[in-house]
Amino acid sequence: MSHAEPGGLPAEFVTRLTASQGALYAYIVSLMGGLDQANDVLQETNLKLCRKAALYDAEQPFLRWAYVFARNEVLSWRTRQARSRLVFQEELMLKIADLFESVEENAERELTALEGCVEKLPPRQRELVAARYGRGEPVQEIAAKLQMAENAASALFYRLRKALAACVELTLGKEASS
């Protein structure tokens, strides 16, 4: 919220922050081991980023800078959880974080590429994405509708995500070389 007087966030910062939301979310989800509470941690991260907006150097890659904050917020979230709720030990979580950060990427383009890749899926697979992610149906219900075992439906989604990941990589690779 802003008042009549200036003192808000720089427009450039807001643009980058907005563009990187999907990537930050994916990062946090990967470190936490699931979607549950990831949005809360993302909001905390956003808050910290906004508070430190003045320290951001526009020459630096935004995401790399933001990942540090996200990582700290995940660590801070961990301290508030019962041990049994934590999927990964801290050491493993940091390994995952390092690996995630080592991959060069452009958040906004990755999301756009994914959108394009979903559109290019054959109708049946697109319907699977729509059911699972659009309408939020759990895999077991989708399996029941398709009259297949839950394991088989799970494997279907695994392959689907793998195909989408490959498509995203290919799309971004093509963009880079063209």
Binding site for another protein (CB under 8 A): 1-5, 9, 13-14, 17-18, 21-22, 25-26, 29-30, 33-36, 38-40, 43-44, 46-47, 49-50, 76, 79-80, 84, 87-89, 91-92, 95-96, 99-100, 110-111, 114-115, 118, 129, 132-139, 141, 151, 154-155, 157-158, 161-162, 164-165, 168
Closest approach, Cβ 170 to another protein, in A, equals 14
- Of residues 90 and 175, the one with the C-beta less far from another protein: 90
- Cα–Cα distance between 145 and 161 in angstroms, integer? 20
Closest approach, Cβ 85 to another protein, in A, equals 10
Length of the chain: 178
Residue 19's nearest CA partner among 82, 106, 123, 139 is: 106
Q: String of b and e for 92-108 (b: at least 16 CB within 10 Å)?
A: ebeeebeebbeeebbbb
Residue 156's nearest CA partner among 117, 133, 125 is: 125
Residue in the block written with tokens 């007087």: 5
Closest approach, Cβ 75 to another protein, in A, equals 10
- Of residues 12 and 175, the one with the C-beta less far from another protein: 12
Task: Output the CA angle 109-173-130, nearest 5 degrees.
Answer: 50
Closest approach, Cβ 52 to another protein, in A, equals 12
- Of residues 134 and 173, the one with the C-beta less far from another protein: 134
Residue 86: both structure tokens together: 């934590």
Closest approach, Cβ 21 to another protein, in A, equals 6
Closest approach, Cβ 174 to another protein, in A, equals 18
- Of residues 39 and 176, the one with the C-beta less far from another protein: 39
- Of residues 71 and 132, the one with the C-beta less far from another protein: 132
Residue 142: both structure tokens together: 């989708």
DSSP state of 36: T
